A and B are shown apart, each in its own frame.
Chain A
Amino acid sequence: MTRDNVTPDSAIEKAAERLKTAEQTKLACPPVRDLLGDTDLSAAYAVQKMLTRSRIAAGSRVIGRKIGLTSQSVQRQFGVNTPDFGVLFDDMIYGDGEHVPFDRFLKPRVEGEIAFVLGADLPSERTTLVDVLRATEFVLPAIEIVDSRIEGWDIHITDTIADNASGGAFALGTTPYPILGVDLTEVGMVLEHNGQPVSTGAGVACLNSPALAVAWLAREVAARGDHLCAGETILSGALGPMVSVPGPGRYRLDLSGLGHVEITFTGEESVS
């Protein structure tokens, strides 16, 4: 793929090194846009790929992808008109009711989503909505824990893409639902913190439909030289506002008609 703006390889390596150190030390780093600029998305994905290779070399396995920036308001905030994506690894997954150590994150935030589990590959740069619906084996409710290795979440588009689309971890419900006959746009979402609703929304907030978001992802991943595979889990994007996690506590997600999932952050009270 040709790049409009040519960011030197040395800058890509430096950005990857900076983010890797932040992840390892749990000390947030400055943004990487000083190295990548604000518009070279390909350079930012190159950083992401470098970090992905490094995690795989360290023993992690890729189990899917996540889609970010799927709401109009967030895109407007970032000054972009496209979503972005990151990679999900096997060490990021939690099950319903599990405890999540708060200190594995820097500044975690949570959001409620629909996870798609694929039963077939989606290899084409011209993947359609119908391809996605046919390839979807089932969906699950998902709490995504997003996190930023960048100080104070001071991110622009290239910062978040390089930083694995601000991916952190995720928790999945345990009951699979088929999507046949389900209007995903009309799925209601409520995320509760210690019993109080803190984020509410619905399927239509995610690129008009979470299935359309997955179709976008399949095309985008293919255009960048890779493809979505059978068995992968796709976090399709937030159905409502993301909320900061101030410290240990319980979060429960309910998706109307698609079940629920809950997690408890454990550990010391946050000092900041």
Chain B
Amino acid sequence: MRDSEHHGRALAARLDEAQSTGIPIEDSTDFERLSLDEAYRMQHCLIRRRAERGDGPVGVKLGFTSKAKMLQMGVDTVIVGSLTSSMLIEDGGSVSLDGFIHPRIEPEIAFRLGADVDLDGDDAALLNDIDGVAPALEIIDSRYAGFAFTLSSVVADNTSASAFAVGPWQRFNRDGDLENRAVRLVVGDTVRAVGSTAAILGNPSRVLPFLLRAARTHGFTLNAGDVILAGAATAATPLVEGFAEARVAGLGRTAITVEGVSRG
């Protein structure tokens, strides 16, 4: 037992190191062998390491939020990762390509929690705790070479979470219709992806019951002020130098500047 704990901490350290050095893990076999429970425990271990450095949790992000992706990965639920304070890029702010391994960017919908969530509440409870919604950009960056992962290895790797930006918050109207809003992603001055919020389980609000159940099962807490990235509205596209913007019809936009790798 102590051996396996030691082994787990060593694996988490490898992920932490890959993230901080920008050097990917070539052989991810050890991570693919984990059970789903072990993978989530490793993710929590990774996040504790970050918190100890003053980089505390600020929310969660969801992955596999389309039936097609679930089918492809052989699962029937979403996966959850943790957002930490250092991942947040200010709306209109900038981020450097330095330090990423092979970053990709995708347009998302973000929810904000207005209250601490009672994880034992019924499925609808989480919807009542949402007090804001906003357009968002997420940068994902697998710590594994070639962006190659399995369900367990990606969960251990904090679901490839890397950075995010959130646009101005709008009041969330429970009956508000988030289900089919046009979404466009501009990267480096070109429209790179076009989609609809319907790509997120038909309606982004539908991820919330999945999140509540996953939080209960896999040891996440959901607190007032937390950001929830609900999932990608289009396929991810490589992050390149220049301008990146997510625009959601009727909801607004968020934009960042991406700076090139410093040569020095």
Chain A residues in the interface with B (C-beta under 8 A) = 183, 185-190, 192, 196-198, 200-205, 208, 239-240, 254-256
17 A-B residue pairings within 8 Å (CB atoms)? A188-B181, A188-B183, A188-B196, A188-B197, A188-B249, A189-B182, A190-B198, A192-B202, A197-B198, A200-B233, A201-B195, A202-B194, A202-B195, A202-B196, A203-B182, A240-B194, A255-B180
Known A200-B195, A204-B194; 14 more pairs at CB < 8 Å: A185-B182, A187-B249, A188-B183, A188-B198, A188-B249, A189-B198, A190-B180, A197-B66, A197-B201, A202-B195, A205-B194, A208-B191, A240-B194, A240-B195
0/1 per residue, B108-151, Cβ < 8 Å to A? 00000000000000000000000000000000000000000000
CB atoms of B191 and A189 under 8 A apart:
no
Among A192, A197, A254: residue with most chain B CB under 10 A: A197
0/1 per residue, B226-251, Cβ < 8 Å to A? 00000001000000000000000110
Which residues of chain A are within 8 angstroms of B184 by Cβ–Cβ distance? 202, 204
A-B interface, 10 closest residue pairs, ranked by CB to CB distance from nearest? A202-B182, A190-B198, A205-B194, A186-B249, A200-B196, A188-B196, A188-B180, A188-B182, A200-B199, A186-B182
CB atoms of A189 and B196 under 8 A apart:
yes
CB atoms of B67 and A200 under 8 A apart:
no
Cα(A237)–Cα(B208), bound, Å: 34
Selected from B67, B196, B250, the residue in CB contact (under 8 A) with A190 is B196
CB atoms of A196 and B67 under 8 A apart:
yes
Among B66, B183, B196, B250: residue with most chain A CB under 10 A: B196
Which residues of chain B are within 8 angstroms of A197 by Cβ–Cβ distance? 66-67, 198-199, 201-202
Which residues of chain A are within 8 angstroms of B182 by Cβ–Cβ distance? 185-189, 202-204, 256
Give min CB distance, B180 to chain A, whole Å: 4
Which residues of chain B are within 8 angstroms of A186 by Cβ–Cβ distance? 182, 249-250
Cα(A198)–Cα(B199), bound, Å: 8
CB atoms of A201 and B196 under 8 A apart:
yes
B residues 172-218 near A (Cβ < 8 Å) are: 179-184, 191, 194-199, 201-202
* CB-CB under 8 A for A202 and B202, given A188-B182, A256-B181: no
CB atoms of B180 and A189 under 8 A apart:
yes
Give min CB distance, B129 to chain A, whole Å: 26
Cα(A183)–Cα(B184), bound, Å: 14
Quick one: closest A residue to B197, CB to CB? A188
Cα(A62)–Cα(B233), bound, Å: 38
Chain B residues in the interface with A (C-beta under 8 A) = 66-68, 179-184, 191, 194-199, 201-202, 233, 249-250
Which residues of chain B are within 8 angstroms of A185 by Cβ–Cβ distance? 182
Give min CB distance, B210 to chain A, whole Å: 15
Cα(A256)–Cα(B196), bound, Å: 10
Which residues of chain A are within 8 angstroms of B202 by Cβ–Cβ distance? 190, 192, 196-197
Give min CB distance, B133 to chain A, whole Å: 15
Among A186, A188, A197, A198: residue with most chain B CB under 10 A: A188
Which residues of chain B are within 8 angstroms of A187 by Cβ–Cβ distance? 182, 249
CB atoms of A202 and B67 under 8 A apart:
no
Cα(A185)–Cα(B183), bound, Å: 10
Which residues of chain A are within 8 angstroms of B181 by Cβ–Cβ distance? 188, 256
Cα(A192)–Cα(B198), bound, Å: 10
Give min CB distance, B236 to chain A, whole Å: 15
Quick one: closest A residue to B190, CB to CB? A72
Cα(A185)–Cα(B199), bound, Å: 18
Give min CB distance, B197 to chain A, whole Å: 7
Which residues of chain A are within 8 angstroms of B195 by Cβ–Cβ distance? 200-202, 240
Which residues of chain A are within 8 angstroms of B194 by Cβ–Cβ distance? 201-202, 204-205, 239-240
Give min CB distance, A115 to chain B, whole Å: 18
Give min CB distance, B194 to chain A, whole Å: 4
Which residues of chain B are within 8 angstroms of A202 by Cβ–Cβ distance? 182-184, 194-196, 249
Which residues of chain A are within 8 angstroms of B183 by Cβ–Cβ distance? 188, 202
Which residues of chain A are within 8 angstroms of B198 by Cβ–Cβ distance? 188-190, 197, 200, 254
Which residues of chain B are within 8 angstroms of A183 by Cβ–Cβ distance? 249
